[in-house]
Structure 1
Amino acid sequence: MTRSEKSAVVAKLEAEFREAGAIIVCDYRGLNVKKLEVLRNTAREQGIKVQVVKNTLANIALKNVDKDGMELKDTNIYIWGEDQLAVTKVVAKFEETNDLFSIKTAHIDGEVASVEKVRALSKMPSRDELIAMLLQVWNAPIQNFTIGLNALKEKKEQTA
């Protein structure tokens, strides 16, 4: 890579990392291309970026957007996106199904996050799931009332 190519990569990463709500660094050593494509396709469906970047270039980009502090060693794959929960869910689900893939570190909510925090966030319901739960709670009394009225109607018809 020439110096100008490296600076272009750093500039692109800076722009994307600045908007990212979560940046997760994972070890992918030993995974074949087919499995990495599964990760990329799953992430792409949810608007999440997945890229293998040299640690030095990623470190420069992270420092320039004040998201430094992560220890970057060995081979890493970077996964980031605006929606923190979506990023953590994609990574945690992929980690469960692939033994060679592991979460190393993350940057969430302006601070370096542990692997445990990433896994805990992945278990939280998303915004859409929370709205669905709330609607079910609101709908339950009305549904039970109509079921009761229908049962009362059927009972009156049987006695008549």
Structure 2
Amino acid sequence: MTRSEKEQLVAELSDAFGQANCVVIVDFKGMTVKEMEEFRKIGYEAGLGARVIKNTLANIAFKNAGIEGVELIDTNMAVWGEDPIATAKAVAKYAKENDKFVIKSGVIDKQPVDAAKIDEYSKLAGREELLGMLLSVWTAPLRNLAAGLDNLAKKKEEEAA
């Protein structure tokens, strides 16, 4: 990789890390190319970016994005996305399916976090689930009113008969 290619890669990653609300660092040592492509496909479907990157280039990209305190050792893949919960869910799900895919650390809202925090985020309700719960709460009074009126109508019919 030439110097200009490295500079371009660092610029792209700095931009991606700066815009992402969640970056997860995973170890992929021992994974086959097929397994890596399988994860990339899952990540693409979830709207995530994923890249294997040298630690020095990743450290420069994190620094350029204004993120401090991320330690990178050994082999690393960075996975990033807009929604921290969706990102954590996708990574944690694949980590459960493949024991060679190990969550090491990450960054959520520009703050470094450990693997346990990412696992906690993966167990939270996602945006769609929360919107469904909110909609259910909003429509509950109307459902109750409709059920009450229906019961009243049935009662009046029984009394009339």
- TM-score (norm. length: structure 2): 0.90
Aligned to 1:109: 109
Amino acid at match of 2:106: A
Consecutive unaligned residues of structure 2, counting only runs of 5 or more, are none
Alignment partner, residue 130 of structure 1? 130
Q: Which sits farther off after the overlay, 143-152 or 109-118?
A: 143-152
Show the counterpart of 1:9: 9
**How far is the alpha carbon of 1:53 from its aligned partner?**
0.8
1:3-39 Cα shifts (integer Å, max 9, x gaps): 1211111111111111111111001112222322222
May I ask how many residue pairs the two structures share in their alignment? Answer: 160
TM-score by length of 1: 0.90
5 Å matches for 1:72-91?
Answer: 72-91=72-91
**CA distance in 2: counterparts of 1:57 and 1:82, whole angstroms:** 22
The AA in structure 1 aligned to 2:145 is F
Q: Which residue of 1 aligns with 2:145?
A: 145
Residue equivalent to 1:61: 61
TM-superposed CA distance for 1:145, in Å, is 2.4
Cα deviation 1:60-85 (Å, max 9, x = unaligned): 11112221321111111110122212
Equivalent AA in structure 2 for residue 5 of structure 1: E
SS in 2 for 1:130: helix
CA RMSD after TM alignment: 1.6
Offset, 1:51: 0.9
1:9 counterpart SS class:
helix
SS of aligned partner of 2:75: coil
1:97 paired residue number = 97
SS, match of residue 51 in structure 1: strand
Percent of aligned positions with the same letter in both sequences?
46
Structure 1 portions without partners, runs of 5+: none
